[in-house]
Structure 1
Amino acid sequence: MSPKTSESRGNAGGGTGGARGLLTPARIAVGALALLALIFIFENTRATRIRLLIPEVTMPLWMALLGTAVTGALCGAYFMRRRR
């Protein structure tokens, strides 16, 4: 009789464990930081002069910030993938 009760408990507990793994504190923190970064980027919409190696270009600041954030995210993802 005890094997049946342990099986039913294992099935009930297994369904909730997968949902808990989806929202870890680290993922929530990264999501909050990403949201704050996007708010910061889209609040800065003025045009600004940016020097790209040699030429100087005028573009909206949000485009430069977003490009920098995407480049950083891609570099971080690349190095984390190589670590595994």
Structure 2
Amino acid sequence: MNSTQQGQERQGFWARPSVRRGARFAVLAAIALVFIFENTATTTVRLLVPEVTMPLWGALLIAWVLGLLAGTVSIRRRR
């Protein structure tokens, strides 16, 4: 007797919570990356003491990656 005969039905692929979370993250990440790489102007960023001139997309990408790392660390600490 397999699991479907015991009254347990298999969930569809998109019904799984981890798949839905991953799909949402992928869509938001794609939108964020398009926004980041569309900003090609040069800007001046102050890093505590020195001022650095760099493309805006570089500064946005650094901020995005740091945000992802902070979110990952906080989620892992909560578990």
Q: One fold, TM greater than 0.5?
A: yes
Instruction: Pick from 50, 54, 58 the counterpart of residue 55 of structure 1.
Output: 50
Identity across aligned pairs (percent)? 46
Once superposed, what is the RMSD of the aligned Cα atoms? 2.4
Deviations 1:57-77 (A, max 9, x none): 101111110000000000100
CA separation of 1:57 and 1:9: change in aligned 2, threshold 3 A: same
Give the match for residue 70 of structure 1: 65
Which runs of 5 or more structure 2 residues have no equivalent in the other structure? Answer: none
How many residue pairs match? The answer is 76
Deviations 1:19-66 (A, max 9, x none): 342521x33332221111100000011211111111111011111100
Task: Pick the structure with greater CA Rg.
Answer: 1
TM-score with structure 1 length normalisation?
0.74
Would you tell me which structure has more helix in proportion to its own residues? 1
TM-score with structure 2 length normalisation?
0.78
